[in-house]
Amino acid sequence: MAVAENIPTAGATAEKGSERTGLWYLNLKWVILGSLLVLAISVAARWYQGWASWDYGTDSTHPDFQKYWMNLMYAQIIFFSVAFVVSMSAIWLTRDKNLKNLSAEDELKRLMFFIGMLFVYAWCFVFAGSFFAEQDAAWHQVVVRDTSFTPSHIIEFYGMFPMFICLGFASFLWATTRLPLYAKGFSIPLVIATTGPMMVLPNVGFNEWGHAFWFMEEYFTAPLHYGFVFFGWSILGLGGILVQVMSRFTVLAGQIWGNEPRTMP
């Protein structure tokens, strides 16, 4: 009897597990809101290009170019600079200082939220590194540039790129301050996936310097654009992150559901 009393009954285990119903560890609200926000900004940027590019964006010496395009560029630089500082500060100041006592359930919820952050980050990269990047090449094949700050560059390099850089660094800092998996040291896939694409923006300087001295085709794999290709492909580090996350998910699943009785459907 003494031994039997020290063994948890199946009913007690089932009662503990019954408190978690459905996909309790999955919260898609912020993923959906973030994805819709990125989509809305991208659609608005493309609409603005269609409205102002041909009428006000082909002559950089015209006053309308300063009004409709340069002012937009300055506004984007200021906005995303402030957004970067605010988001990084908020994530750091609200960091978890007691990760050693984090429960398996809470860690699982954070892992799922982290995957959602990476999804929004990758979704933003679709527009920054693919749609607007290829559009930029098409624009310059048709319109001879008379300035580095063209309508396509202002949207791509000073709007979309800073936005996904903010999302990437936010994902990195959030993971290293809230997940034990990444708080113990630096993850190579995480560093590559979040800081590698950031180097696309500094490469803009080399790109503009090259175009100022050489006449060359505006296709993505031109030698002058090798930096864009190399740093853009670093987004593939997301695959390594998912392997790490799923490995940790397996461990947490064993801790959470391992002792719960299986019920027949």
pLDDT band at 19 (very low <50, low <70, confident <90, very high): low
Domain segments of the chain as ranges: 26-257
- Angle at CA of residue 153, ends 150 and 157, nearest 5°: 150
Q: Dihedral through CA 42, CA 220, CA 236, CA 107, nearest 10?
A: -20
For the chain, give the number of residues. Answer: 265
Instruction: Classify residue 174 by its DSSP letter.
Output: H
Q: Report pLDDT digits (tens) over 120-158.
A: 999 998 998 888 988 887 888 788 777 788 899 999 989
Q: Report pLDDT digits (tens) over 20-36.
A: 666 777 888 899 999 99
Q: Report pLDDT digits (tens) over 174-206.
A: 999 999 999 988 899 999 998 888 888 787 777
Q: What pLDDT, on the 0 to 100 scale, is given for residue 138? A: 83
Q: What pLDDT, on the 0 to 100 scale, is given for residue 14? A: 38
For residue 129, how many other CB atoms are within 10 A of its CB? 22
Q: What pLDDT, on the 0 to 100 scale, is given for residue 264? A: 41
Q: How far apart are CA 150 and CA 73, in angstroms?
A: 10
Instruction: Classify residue 54 by its DSSP letter.
Output: H
Identify residue 52 by its one-letter amino acid code. Answer: A
Identify residue 130 by its one-letter amino acid code. Answer: S
Sign of CA dihedral 137, 143, 148, 150: negative
Q: Which CATH number among 3.40.50.300, 3.30.420.40, 3.40.1160.10, 1.20.1050.50 corresponds to the domain 26-257?
A: 1.20.1050.50
Whether the Cβ atoms of residue 262 and residue 215 lie closer than 8 Å to each other: no
Q: Report pLDDT digits (tens) over 34-65.
A: 999 999 999 999 999 999 999 999 898 999 99
Which residue matches tokens 């898609």? 28
Q: Report pLDDT digits (tens) over 77-134.
A: 999 999 999 999 999 999 998 888 888 899 999 999 999 999 999 999 899 888 898 8
* Among the ranges given (213-222, 225-234, 247-256), the one the predictor scored with the smallest mean pLDDT: 213-222
Whether the predicted pLDDT of 3 surpasses 80: no
